[in-house]
Amino acid sequence: MGTHGSTRIIPEEFTASRITSSDTRYTTAINHINTHLTRKRGDLQRLQTEVQIKMEGVSEEWNKEIEGLEREIVYLEEAREEAEGLLQSYEIFAKGEYQGLGWGVWKEGGP
């Protein structure tokens, strides 16, 4: 419990069983712990900053990908609308609905 990896955070001579309230080693142990605590807080802050920077970069990449997909969807929707319009035109011609406008040729066999 007093170890981190293979390095002891609190040296054996500073464990609770060897510390008394009047012992100066108690203050030394607290200072030792505070040193490690300060170092770990600095490590955590650096890591959080690094993660934030990386996430911003990833976010930017995701936004570009999303924008690209949105453009493709708009293009495909427009293409579908155009194809549907052409299909409707073909169906109208195939049914001969324009016969009265001189398009009766379409009734016989289509384009």
Q: 3-state SS of 77-92?
A: HHHHHHHHHHHHHHHH
* Phi and psi at residue 75, to the nearest 5°: -60, -45
pLDDT in tens, 3-18: 445 555 666 655 555 5
Task: Tell me how far apart the terminal alpha carbons of the chain are, to the nearest angstrom.
Answer: 85
d(C-alpha 62, C-alpha 56), whole Å: 10
Count: domains in the chain:
1
Domain containing residue 71: 3-109
Decide if pLDDT at 44 tops 60. Answer: yes
Evaluate if residue 100 carries a pLDDT over 90.
no
> Is 93's pLDDT higher than 70?
yes
